[in-house]
Amino acid sequence: MQGSPKVIEALNELLTLELTVVNQYFVHSRMCVNWGYGRIAGQQRAIAMDEMRDAEQIIDRILFLDGVPNMQRLGSVTVGETVSEQFQIALEGEHRALELLHSGIGVALEEEDSASREFFAGRLLEEEAHVDYAETQLGLIQRLGEANYLAQQMADPS
Amino acid sequence: MYVCLCLAISDRAIRAAVAGGARTLESLGEVSDAGTVCGGCIDELERLLRERSNGNDGAPTTEQPT
């Protein structure tokens, strides 16, 4: 089914972000394994997989609309040198995801593509949950101190 | 945090280079080597340059590295 080029571009922008954050979560997870923080590593790995599934669904939607998924484009991947930095980077990425979802909803409405509007809107809850996860961890680090927080994160990686 | 992953250059090193007088991607590359390999970090380097220029002359640079 031929989709609006504007909707396809909005989907591609979201795809670029998803592919970027997959890399970020994945390397952050492996760094946590290396540091011995298995609990965080498992959580970050699970989010990386969520984002990968999101990318899969976005690619499918772009193909359904007869567009070309842009697998070439990747945003700047930044890597946290500490666990706190990792969560700050994750939070920025998730805020950007929410912005892109809201602008995608606007584009889909303008282009009278209600199914794509629903597609964008359907992803809001998951991305909000990721924002909440990063905010909660940063809040814990602030209240407990980084060392106390990290002392609770040592476990075998899942 | 690491900004340039090719050469493992952190945001602190970039900010220090900017504070030391680097105002364009080209001069940043000359001073720190950041952004001179794959170019994937250029968006982030531009953001860090803007961060500085917003407090000064307000003119972000879009000059490409050589």
Give ipTM to 2 decimals: 0.77
Q: Do B5 and A77 touch (CB under 8 A)?
A: yes
The answer to whether residue B54 scores a pLDDT higher than 50 is yes
B-chain residues near A76 (CB < 8 A): 3, 40-44
- Supply A23's token pair: 């890399």
CA-to-CA distance for A109 and A99, rounded, in angstroms?
A: 16
User: Do residue A77 and residue B10 have CB atoms under 8 angstroms apart?
Assistant: no
Location of structure tokens 């842009």: A70
Question: Which tokens is B61 given?
Answer: 């640079």
Q: Return residues 3-42 of B near A (CB < 8 Å).
A: 3, 5, 10-11, 40-42
Q: What is the pLDDT of residue A158?
A: 55
pLDDT at B16 over 80: yes
Which of B1, B11, B40 is closest, CB to CB, to A74? Answer: B40
Contact (Cβ atoms closer than 8 angstroms) between residue A101 and residue A46: no
Q: How far is CA A121 from CA A87, A143, B7, B36, B37, in A?
A: 24, 33, 39, 39, 38
For residues A16 and B40, is the Cβ–Cβ distance under 8 A? Answer: no
Paired strand residues for B9? B4
Q: What is the mean pLDDT of the segment spanning A60-65?
A: 98
Q: What is the pTM of this model?
A: 0.87
| CB-based contacts of B46, cutoff 8 Å, min separation 6 | B25, B60, B61, B62
Residue recorded with tokens 């927080």:
A149
Whether A136 and A149 have beta carbons less than 8 Å apart is answered as no
Of B40, B9, B45, B3, the C-alpha closest to B26 is: B45
Average pLDDT, chain A: 96
Q: By the CB < 8 Å criterion, does B43 face chain A?
A: yes
The pLDDT of residue A131 is above 50? yes
User: Is the predicted pLDDT of residue B63 greater than 60, yes or no?
Assistant: no
Contact criterion met (CB < 8 Å) for A78 and B43: no
Q: Is the pLDDT of residue A97 over 80?
A: yes
Q: What average pLDDT does the segment B10-23 reach? A: 94
Give CA angle at B18 (B36, A138), nearest 5°.
95
Give contacts of A 83-142 with B, CB under 8 A: 85, 89
Look at residue A155 in the predicted model and tell me its pLDDT: 84
Mean pLDDT of A115-128: 97
pLDDT at B55: 61
Return the residue in B2, B7, B46 with the most chain A beta carbons within 10 A, the one to mutate for interface testing: B2
Give the CA angle between residues A92, A57, A75 to the nearest 5°: 35
Per the CB < 8 A criterion, the answer to whether B64 and B32 are in contact is no
| pLDDT of A156 | 76
Instruction: Please tell me the predicted confidence (pLDDT) of residue A157.
Output: 61
> Average pLDDT in the B21-36 region?
93
